[in-house]
Amino acid sequence: MTAIAYLVGARPNYMKIGPVLSELSLRLPHVDHMVIDTGQHYDRRLAAVFVEELGLPPPRHVLGIGSGTHGLQTGRALIALERVLLDARPELMIVPGDVNSTLAGALAAAKVCVPVAHIEAGLRSFDRTMPEEINRILVDQIATWCFTHSPEANKNLRREGIGSDRVHYVGNTMIDTLLQLLPRVETSTALERFGLCEGSYVLVTLHRPALVDGPGLVPILAALARLARHVPVIFPVHPRTRNEITRRSLRCERVQFIEPLGYLDFLALMRCAFAVLTDSGGVQEETTFLRVPCFTLRSTTERPITISHGTNRLIDLSSREIERIPSLAADVTPPATPPPLWDGKAATRIADTLSAALTSMEKLECAGSAAP
């Protein structure tokens, strides 16, 4: 049976790949649609809960890669994925985003001659100290199909010598998922549960090792404590961040720390926030669509469209801008319309390309088998 492999490994992967899986499953019911979860995010609150909320089929393979250094995590995933692909022999491997699982999936597929489709191709921060930047560059070089969601991504790929026949400007599949689930977000009781009023609080999400594993975590928490004197601050704490706070016995008075949330509850808090402070790429995009002021605690972003669109601003630890978020956010006037092609139809465009390609492959195989 013809098969398509869909790779997931970290929270954002589910939102990026879910609409594509749904669309291709409808168009190609005769195909075996196989989800592989590397287990890079092994906490249920960061993985399985998204499968349930997005209505995805259970993963066929859960590889249990877990945490570790970048090399160790990528290597384990590569070894495990190669075994799966050699056994299943899919006609296509779809990989989203830029996490270590994404690179491992693309490499494993390339080594066993399975074509790769990369969702969210072409993003560049131009900061090679970020492991994700290396992953992005390598996966795009491997991929047969590079699906982009913004004009600058197309330019980046062209600059790197990737032919236009491999680049497809389709839009943002994360926004497909967001739009699909917005009606259900209305039923979330997150604000009531945490004692929050719409438009009155700052939502915080921080998880990147460069921030939470080093000395920068101490001044961040101090700045959040000062911010919380003036406005409620709610912080769903990533397990990695919580471990560091506990290990170092750090304190952050007045900030409301909560456990990681499912996607619906997190969206509910995000869309009703006065502002969001984050180091996440996906949150930069979601806040852009939701027209919520976003402040990204990084010196670079691979999503400059969120900056040019006027909803996102980069801030760094050397400034006191965390404490000034209420006044800074008050000056933001988000555009009335989202970026081009962030319209909920990105997965449809991807499926147009991939279903046509897969149909062509099947015709070639049939012609080959019928030859004398």
Query: What are the tokens at 129?
Result: 């100290």
Residue 126 and residue 51: Cα distance in Å, rounded? 32
Which residues participate in catalysis according to the annotation?
A: 207
Sign for the CA dihedral angle at 348, 352, 353, 357 comes to positive
| DSSP 8-class letter at 57 | P
- For 208, the enclosing helix (H) or strand (E) is none
Sequence letter at residue 308: S
Q: What is the CA radius of gyration of the chain?
A: 21
User: Degrees (nearest 5) of the Cα angle 143, 93, 23?
Assistant: 110
Which strands form 312-315's sheet, in the order they lie side by side? 256-258, 233-236, 202-205, 275-278, 294-297, 312-315
Amino acid at position 135, single letter? N
- Characterize the bridge pairing of strands 202-205 and 167-169: unpaired
Q: What single-letter amino acid sits at 35?
A: V
d(CA 290, CA 300): 22
